[in-house]
């Protein structure tokens, strides 16, 4: 039996817990838009999402591979501190990392390689503290790999598995998958599958997990049982037994329905 919302058929996800009422997520496709500086397109989204109550954010740099964690944290600090947010990087805290998450006002998880990120999160036993704090209302911001981490699994990432985490299961903060940097470009002469074909393969063998393809410049803001699309581009939705379709509406709350 399936539920149809906004014309989009969703599989029942009875085995997954409902989204906590207090959950607050800002999930971005990317950190840099063409012709703009780092996180420029997301500045207003971040301000509105974090609000007046957050003054210190905990940055998770573990998706960085060819950039050092120090340099990655410095890039984020350079962008956010002029906005009034003090940035502490999780790799540099002196206390237990799980304790740092537990005490954080907000967590920002940067992009890079999703496998590298998830491997670090497992090795430092951070999944449970992150889940608990987000369920308690702590704001969670992720871009690219950081958005993948919020999904049930990272299996709809675009990244190469340069390391092997214990499992591909992620935080499961939302009951659907995200594909960041979504594009269905197919260069002339290229004989490989398009992104759409790969995501259709995913929903074919994972019928309980719809996928939202987020074009660059797009984000999802989750406030409890509501999801709002941010940015000018439609989201492309994939589900088992359905043709992919583009959704331009701002209200995508039906993705949380089961």
How much is the pLDDT for 10?
Answer: 47
How much is the pLDDT for 169?
Answer: 98
How much is the pLDDT for 17?
Answer: 47
Length of the chain: 258
How much is the pLDDT for 7?
Answer: 55
Low-confidence ranges of the chain (pLDDT < 50): 1-5, 10-18, 258
pLDDT tens track for 92-147: 998 899 999 999 999 999 999 999 999 999 999 999 999 999 999 999 999 999 99
pTM of the model: 0.91
**Which domains are assigned to the chain?**
2-11+20-256 (3.40.50.880)
Cite the active site residues: 144, 159, 181
């Amino acid at each position: 039996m399936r539920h149809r919302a906004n014309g989009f058929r969703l599989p029942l996800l009875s085995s997954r817990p409902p989204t906590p009422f207090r959950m607050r997520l800002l999930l971005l496709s990317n950190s840099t838009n063409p012709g703009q500086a780092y996180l420029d397109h997301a500045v207003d989204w971040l301000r509105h999402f974090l609000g007046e109550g957050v003054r210190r954010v905990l940055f998770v740099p573990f998706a960085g591979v060819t950039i050092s964690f120090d340099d990655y944290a410095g890039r984020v600090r350079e962008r956010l501190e002029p906005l009034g947010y003090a940035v502490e990087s999780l790799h540099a805290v002196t206390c237990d990392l799980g304790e740092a998450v537990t005490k954080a006002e907000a967590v920002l998880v940067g992009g890079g390689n999703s496998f590298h990120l998830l491997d670090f999160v497992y090795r430092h036993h951070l999944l449970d503290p992150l889940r608990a704090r987000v369920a308690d209302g702590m704001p969670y911001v992720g871009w690219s790999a950081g958005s993948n981490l919020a999904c049930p699994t990272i299996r709809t990432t675009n990244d190469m598995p340069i390391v092997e985490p214990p499992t591909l299961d992620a935080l499961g903060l939302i009951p659907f998958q995200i594909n960041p940097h979504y594009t269905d470009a197919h260069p002339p002469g290229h004989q490989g599958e398009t992104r759409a074909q790969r995501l259709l393969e995913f929903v074919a063998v994972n019928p309980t997990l719809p996928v939202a393809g987020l074009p660059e410049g797009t984000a999802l803001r989750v406030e409890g049982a509501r999801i709002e699309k941010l940015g000018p581009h439609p989201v492309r939705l994939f589900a088992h037994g359905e043709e992919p379709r583009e959704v331009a509406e701002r209200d995508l709350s039906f993705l949380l329905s089961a």
